[in-house]
Amino acid sequence: MRSIGYVGVQSAAAADWLDFGPRVFGFETRLLQDGTVRVRWCDRSHRLAIHPGDTDRLLYLGWEVGADESPDDVAARLTAAGFAVTEGGASLAAARSVERLISFEDPFGLRHEFFTGQQETPGSYRGQRPTSRAVTGELGLGFVVLRVPDLQRGLDFYTGVMGMKVSDAINLGRGLGEMWFLRCNPRHHSIALLQGDDTLRLEHVMIEAETLEEVEVAWDLARREMDAFVSPGRRLSDNMFMFRVRTSTGFHVCYGWGATPVEDEENWIPRYIDSSSGGIVYSAAAVVTAGGAAPSADVTH
């Protein structure tokens, strides 16, 4: 897969994004006839879809298939790995604004959609502010953080089945456990995993702004009215300057600038960052097991 293309969630407060998205972040929003709110921060048709429903939950993740492969190639590998693959029909493809998609469910019951040809109109994005531009393109929408019922099983799935690579891992301290960062392109991570309870949950979605100015403006707007946030600062993993706010739709939004990409793929050495001990960084051997096998969450201590 080339990048994470879109995220689909469900919430009774979907309509809140019609005001929240443009006012705080300058994003474009659109209300569909079925009550779904589409949000975009670049020229793609959408990056986030919030479907109406009684509960807040993650519905699906959309992954863009690289130009050197086809959905048929992906389906063959998934089938060989023991997953049941479904071909998305024309109506579902139209609903996602893509040419074609296939889907399957991961070990936690989350639906993953592999797609080609998401609708994109160059120069069409008109943010609510002149500075509301995001870093997307080949890097995808940004990244998502998931709380999974079994961290090791999640790592095995995303590295072994999805083919992602470990960028870094961090001990968050304060009893919060570990976060593992996984990449599929030069962005430091497209997925991050946290140990959760019995139910998989979307923790937050990250969007990277093109300018620091945009982050400053959004933070000034967010802090005036929101009672749950993480104030601006540098993240240890990718050095992004960011802040985080809670939305009414059950997940947080991270908004930042200046992340360090993985530019030298062949020589990147994964780190284990212990934030509880002043940011101590352990050797690569403490993060990835020998022979490129799936990492183990308990070898880092």
**Separation CA 154–CA 145 (nearest Å):** 12
The predicted-structure confidence for 160-216, as pLDDT tens digits, reads as follows 999 999 999 988 877 778 899 999 999 999 999 999 888 899 999 999 999 999 999
What was the pLDDT predicted at 284? Answer: 42
In a domain, 282, yes or no: no
SS3 291: helix
In a domain, 299, yes or no: no
**Whether residue 115 has pLDDT greater than 70:** yes
In a domain, 154, yes or no: yes
In a domain, 96, yes or no: yes
In a domain, 270, yes or no: no
The predicted-structure confidence for 30-39, as pLDDT tens digits, reads as follows 999 999 999 9
Structural domain for 30, as ranges: 3-257
Q: Report how far apart, in Å, the C-alpha atoms of 254 and of each of 44, 60, 133, 152 are.
A: 20, 19, 15, 25
**Separation CA 229–CA 17 (nearest Å):** 17
Residue 165: strand pairing partners: 183
Nearest to residue 251, comparing CAs of 127, 147, 96, 111? 147
DSSP-derived secondary structure letter, 137: G
Judge whether 110 and 154 are in contact, CB under 8 Å.
no
Dihedral sign for Cα 152, 158, 163, 164, please: negative
Q: What is the DSSP string of 50-92?
A: EEE-SS-EEEEEEEEPPTT--HHHHHHHHHHTTPPPEE--HHH
**Among the listed ranges 111-120, 252-261, 262-271, which one has the minimum average pLDDT value?**
262-271
**Separation CA 268–CA 158 (nearest Å):** 18
In a domain, 22, yes or no: yes
**Separation CA 53–CA 47 (nearest Å):** 19
What was the pLDDT predicted at 293? Answer: 39
In a domain, 268, yes or no: no
Looking up residue 179, the CATH number of its domain turns out to be: 3.10.180.10
Statement: the pTM of the whole predicted model exceeds 0.95: no
In a domain, 66, yes or no: yes
Judge whether 280 and 262 are in contact, CB under 8 Å.
no
Number of structural domains, the chain?
A: 1
The predicted-structure confidence for 139-174, as pLDDT tens digits, reads as follows 999 999 999 999 999 999 999 999 999 999 988 877
Segment 65-93 mean pLDDT: 93
Mean model confidence pLDDT for the chain = 88
What was the pLDDT predicted at 231? Answer: 79
